[in-house]
Amino acid sequence: MAYTFLDLVSTPSVKAAQEANGSRDYFEVAGKDRSFDRFTPSEAAFIAARDSFYMATVSENGWPYVQHRGGPAGFLQVLDPTTFACADFRGNRQYISVGNLGANDRVSLILMDYPNRSRLKIFAHAEISTDPAILAKVAVPGYRAKVERALVFHLEAFDWNCPQHITPRFTMADIEEGIAALHQRIAVLETENAALKANTLSASAHSQGE
């Protein structure tokens, strides 16, 4: 049995740290039938709903570099159970991630759903593409940003993190959706209040005219 994600990261030093902290036995027996090397519809839906992710690459001098990638929800797309991609929009033009990928195609990604306290970790090999067919697949209609290339990720393994220590955070869209019912209720109450005021004024005028 395998646990692909942990198998990849369980180097001798990691195993030593687990041993020193009393968790090695747990990881020897727990969750060993979790290959997690193909996306299911659940992961595909989670990925497609994201509006950002964090990507780590490694430079030729050994330093890791973590960069935020963002766009409209849906800019990150699953193409098949082992491949996903996104448009790479123009940023500050340092091209650090692009340069790192030219020397080492391994990436580690973290995708966050803060409101629901969910976190998906992914190991992949990243491919830089300017193929028009790929660019068409990752196009984001109506989004005003220059697409310089596509990033195509070939899945190696993924894993889900527990929600512990994830602080819920909400976008304006989340907040607006959450309070939409409240706004509707306020509008109904304001209409009812205006009608009551009108009826009161009408009754008062009628009473004074008698």
pLDDT band at 46 (very low <50, low <70, confident <90, very high): very high
The predicted structure's pLDDT at residue 92: 85
Question: Do 83 and 150 touch, CB atoms closer than 8 A?
Answer: no
pLDDT band at 91 (very low <50, low <70, confident <90, very high): confident
Rounded to 5 degrees, φ, ψ at 49 are -85, -10
What pTM does this model have? Answer: 0.81
Q: Indicate if the pLDDT at residue 151 is higher than 90.
A: yes
The predicted structure's pLDDT at residue 101: 96
Question: Do 73 and 49 touch, CB atoms closer than 8 A?
Answer: yes
What are the residue boundaries of the structural domains of the chain, listed by start? Answer: 1-34, 36-161, 179-209
Task: Check residue 22 and report its DSSP letter.
Answer: T
Q: What is the mean pLDDT of the chain?
A: 89
Rounded to 5 degrees, φ, ψ at 82 are -130, 10
Q: Who wins on pLDDT, 45 or 199?
A: 45
- In whole angstroms, how far apart are CA 15 and each of 9, 19, 21, 30? 9, 6, 10, 15
The predicted structure's pLDDT at residue 23: 85
Q: Who wins on pLDDT, 14 or 104?
A: 104
Q: Which residues of 174-192 are buried (b: 16+ CB within 10 A; e: fewer)?
A: eeeeeeeeeeeeeeeeeee
Nearest alpha-carbon partner for 26 in 36, 35, 15: 15
Q: Indicate if the pLDDT at residue 116 is higher than 80.
A: yes
Architecture of domain 36-161: Roll (2.30)
Residue 107 burial by CB count (10 A; 0-12/13-18/19+): exposed, middle or buried? buried
Mean pLDDT calculated for residue range 152-179 = 90
pLDDT band at 199 (very low <50, low <70, confident <90, very high): confident
The predicted structure's pLDDT at residue 1: 46
